[in-house]
């Protein structure tokens, strides 16, 4: 129940009671969100390719015992792990993309073709979908600022920013091409970064897919749940966690996303990344001690 509803029983009585939401984490910035009726996927990247090369990856691919996957460089063409996707993703109605780097976007064509879900994202994201054979009718291109009614859910698109990688030297312009041969890793361009306020089952969930945001674009939003990208590049941002949670009125539920090392396969130890996530949890507790804060592991489902 929202604080407003608690104060006003009459108002609460008029509202349909909010649903429980089930949030399943796929690693990276990937999620399935459902109220039991509509399934919304966020940045669903399940292929977890072993990659190396700047600016997104380490100079050497991460190695873990038993991992026999070839290390891909930025000039290689990645292939989706359709077996893992089929095991983990059933039906889906919407696929929302924060941006179109490969570790967010490369599995979108396969997922959208298989599920028939509507893809929502930037022009770059739309082009990744087009190039991957997703029908035009299934693609909604957005710029930030839209607030779309989509049947049982509505989705407000929030202008946002990419992580300040490489010690703030990160910058990438351009738009991913829409036709031609399959994309190399380096051709999945950011294409601008978006966040989403998803109203589903009587609840509002705000989702980020990169370690940055535009404060004035989120100021005054009052989500029930916020997914905050929590890996180390957030330290490049002034008072990253504090400014965000204050701007949002200290949401009741704060969930860490994008906390893991994505070049490692599912099941590999993520000890270092989890240690970093613990520092995020400490930051949340400092600014918003009454929030429930969660760091879901791969394929863990949390109910909020």
Instruction: Name the residues that contact Zn ion, by CB under 5 A.
Output: 101
Between residues 138 and 186, which has the closer beta carbon with respect to Zn ion? 186
* Minimal distance, residue 133 CB to Zn ion, in Å: 23
In the complex, residue closest to Zn ion by CB? 101
DSSP string covering 245-302:
HHHTT--SEEEEES-S-TTSPTTS--HHHHHHHHHHHHHHHHH-TTSEEE-PPTT-EE
* Minimal distance, residue 286 CB to Zn ion, in Å: 27
* Minimal distance, residue 34 CB to Zn ion, in Å: 25
* Minimal distance, residue 229 CB to Zn ion, in Å: 10
**Is there a contact between 190 and 180 (Cβ–Cβ < 8 Å)?**
no
Question: Which is nearest to 225 in space by CA: 249, 258, 242?
Answer: 249
Between residues 93 and 101, which has the closer beta carbon with respect to Zn ion? 101
Between residues 110 and 188, which has the closer beta carbon with respect to Zn ion? 188
Between residues 38 and 212, which has the closer beta carbon with respect to Zn ion? 212
* Minimal distance, residue 196 CB to Zn ion, in Å: 16
Alpha carbon distance 283, 127 (integer Å): 37
Between residues 50 and 101, which has the closer beta carbon with respect to Zn ion? 101
Burial 26-61 (b: 16+ CB within 10 A, else e): bbbbbbbbbbeebbbbbbbbbbbbbbbbeebbeeeb
């Amino acid at each position: 129940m929202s604080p407003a509803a608690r104060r006003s029983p009459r108002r609460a009585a008029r509202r349909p009671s909010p649903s429980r939401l089930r949030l399943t984490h796929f690693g990276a910035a990937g999620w399935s969100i459902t109220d039991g009726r509509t399934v919304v996927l966020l940045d669903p990247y399940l292929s977890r390719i072993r990659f190396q090369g700047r600016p997104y990856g380490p100079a050497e691919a991460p190695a873990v015992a038993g991992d026999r996957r070839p290390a891909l460089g930025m000039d290689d063409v990645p292939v989706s792990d359709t077996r893992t996707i089929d095991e983990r993703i059933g039906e889906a109605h919407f696929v929302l993309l924060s941006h179109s780097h490969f570790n967010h976007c490369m599995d979108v064509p396969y997922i959208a073709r298989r599920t028939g879900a509507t893809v929502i994202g930037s022009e770059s994201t739309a082009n990744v979908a087009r190039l991957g054979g997703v029908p035009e009718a299934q693609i909604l291109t957005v710029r930030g600022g839209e607030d779309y009614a989509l049947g049982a859910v509505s989705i407000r698109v929030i202008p946002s920013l990419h992580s300040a990688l490489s010690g703030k030297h990160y910058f990438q312009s351009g738009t991913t091409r829409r036709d031609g041969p399959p994309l190399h890793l380096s051709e999945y361009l950011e294409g601008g970064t978006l966040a989403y306020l998803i109203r589903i089952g009587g609840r509002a969930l705000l989702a980020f897919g990169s370690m940055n945001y535009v404060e004035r674009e989120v100021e005054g939003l009052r989500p029930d749940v916020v997914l905050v990208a929590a890996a180390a590049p957030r330290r490049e941002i002034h008072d990253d966690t504090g400014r965000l949670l204050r701007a949002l009125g200290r949401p009741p539920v704060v969930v860490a996303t994008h906390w893991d090392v994505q070049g490692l396969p599912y099941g590999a130890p993520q000890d270092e990344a989890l240690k970093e996530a613990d520092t995020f949890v400490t930051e949340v507790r400092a600014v918003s001690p009454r929030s429930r804060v969660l760091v879901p592991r791969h394929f863990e489902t949390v109910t909020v």
